[in-house]
């Protein structure tokens, strides 16, 4: 249990990087920044607050479904909670501002994202731009409010180490997993020699399943115990992140495993463990593949192919998890925005009628996503175990 908790902490520290799904998904967009991607403006130093998210110029005809969908599945510098309308008809959003940590020309700045007033105000020479279908980022501006340009004419951007929505969600998930593991551990101490009960029984069931159905068959009896803590950490983190992403309210709702940086880090860890653990037979099979004609070994075609396989394995792991979880979120959001599209193009009454079907289909996809959340955690852990097992296994003639 101690090793599992330590691996959870290391995994959390490794996740301090950000990427945006809109770097890989392209939908139509305009200049309207959607509600969901706007940072709070009048929160001050408080954790929660309300804000004006439009000045009246955005009408119903400006609703951009692509921007709204991508705005939900990508990262942001604030955590949007919900919207409401004031008595004068203005739309407001309640959101949690997140820490902005910047380094620019050796100067360190740290403040809350609420200082940007949802992109309508600059702060300390910085401006928050983008959102929705556009990548949200921070740029440098001069005293006149114009973006600073370098000698090549590119906009100057500071080094951004901000704790955005995805890293904040990872902190919450890791903290909850550590609590769950510690509760199960204390349950074993208090009920030593007795049957598991409550949360302890659920954790034990999943641990035994990962050990006996994934890790032991894939890695083998001789080596599986060495890699079991990592595989348990991998399975629990992915499964828990997938499930938390399906819950549409704080502290859940962040698309953690739909972020290419997160899945990339997980795949990279598996890549390093696999190749560091590889024995001489593993590397010999790559550079001197048995059963291959000699002329293919002299002309290094097979070693190149095998090396490409070593590189593509983690890439496949990364893209499979990222694409499957992001696609599920987009499908659910697609059913939701249909309501607003029809309301804007036809009438509110027709949109209300369509909303019944949209909600039914959305709930169905969410239930299906619960199964996908488990399957993706299972597949990622199984393939990681398979790759490690291939790297550490001994040839049959050596065992004989």
Mean pLDDT of the chain: 79
Higher pLDDT, 241 or 397: 241
Burial 137-168 (b: 16+ CB within 10 A, else e): bbbbbeeeeeeeeeeeeeeebbebbbbbbbbb
Could you tell me the residue ranges of all domains in the chain? 19-163, 167-399
Instruction: Tell whether the model's pLDDT for residue 178 goes beyond 90.
Output: yes
**98-129 per-position pLDDT tens digit:** 999 999 888 899 999 888 877 778 888 899 98
**Across 133-153, average pLDDT:** 87
Look at residue 13 in the predicted model and tell me its pLDDT. Answer: 44
Q: 3-state class of 99 per DSSP?
A: strand
Look at residue 397 in the predicted model and tell me its pLDDT. Answer: 52
**257-267 per-position pLDDT tens digit:** 999 999 999 99
Look at residue 286 in the predicted model and tell me its pLDDT. Answer: 76
**5-63 per-position pLDDT tens digit:** 444 444 444 444 444 333 333 333 333 333 333 333 344 334 344 444 333 334 444 67
Residue 25: CB partners within 8 Å, gap ≥ 6?
70, 326, 330
Instruction: Tell whether the model's pLDDT for residue 307 goes beyond 60.
Output: yes
Whose structure tokens read 């004989």? 400
Of 237, 241, 239, 240, whose CA–CA distance to 269 is shortest?
A: 237
Least-confidence region, from 21-25, 145-149, 316-320: 21-25
């Amino acid at each position: 249990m101690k090793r599992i908790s330590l691996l959870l902490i290391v995994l959390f520290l490794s996740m301090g990087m950000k990427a945006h799904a809109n770097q890989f998904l392209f939908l139509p967009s305009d200049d309207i920044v959607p509600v969901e991607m706007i940072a709070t403006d009048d929160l001050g130093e408080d954790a929660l607050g309300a804000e004006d998210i439009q000045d009246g110029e955005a009408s119903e005809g400006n609703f951009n479904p692509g921007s709204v969908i991508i705005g939900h599945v990508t990262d942001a510098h604030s955590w949007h909670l919900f919207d409401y309308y004031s008595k004068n008809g203005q739309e407001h959003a309640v959101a949690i501002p997140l820490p902005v940590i910047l380094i620019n020309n050796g100067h360190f700045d740290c403040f809350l994202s609420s200082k940007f007033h949802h992109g309508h105000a600059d702060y300390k020479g910085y401006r928050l731009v983008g959102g929705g279908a556009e990548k949200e980022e921070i740029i440098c501006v001069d005293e006149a409010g114009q973006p600073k340009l370098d000698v090549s004419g590119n906009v100057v951007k500071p080094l951004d180490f901000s704790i955005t929505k995805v890293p904040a969600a990872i902190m919450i998930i890791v903290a909850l997993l550590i609590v769950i593991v510690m509760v199960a551990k204390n349950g074993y101490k208090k009920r030593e020699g007795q049957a598991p009960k409550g949360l302890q029984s659920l954790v034990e069931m999943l641990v035994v399943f990962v050990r006996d159905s994934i890790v032991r068959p894939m890695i083998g009896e001789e080596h599986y115990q060495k890699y079991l803590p990592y595989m348990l950490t991998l399975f629990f983190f992915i499964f828990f992140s997938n499930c938390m992403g399906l819950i549409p309210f704080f502290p859940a709702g962040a698309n953690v495993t739909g972020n290419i940086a997160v899945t990339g880090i997980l795949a990279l860890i598996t890549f390093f463990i696999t190749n560091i653990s590889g024995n001489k037979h593993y590397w010999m099979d790559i550079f001197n593949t048995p059963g291959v004609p000699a002329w293919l070994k002299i002309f290094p075609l097979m070693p190149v192919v095998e090396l490409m396989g070593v590189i593509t394995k983690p890439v496949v792991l990364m893209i499979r998890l990222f694409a499957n979880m992001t696609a599920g979120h987009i499908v659910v959001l697609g059913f939701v925005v249909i309501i607003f599209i029809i309301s804007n193009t036809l009438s509110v009454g027709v949109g209300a009628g369509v909303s019944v079907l949209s909600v039914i289909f959305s709930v169905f996809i969410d239930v299906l996503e619960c199964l996908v959340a488990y399957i993706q955690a299972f597949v990622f852990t199984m393939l990681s175990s398979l790759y490690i097992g291939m790297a550490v296994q001994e040839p049959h003639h050596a065992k004989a």
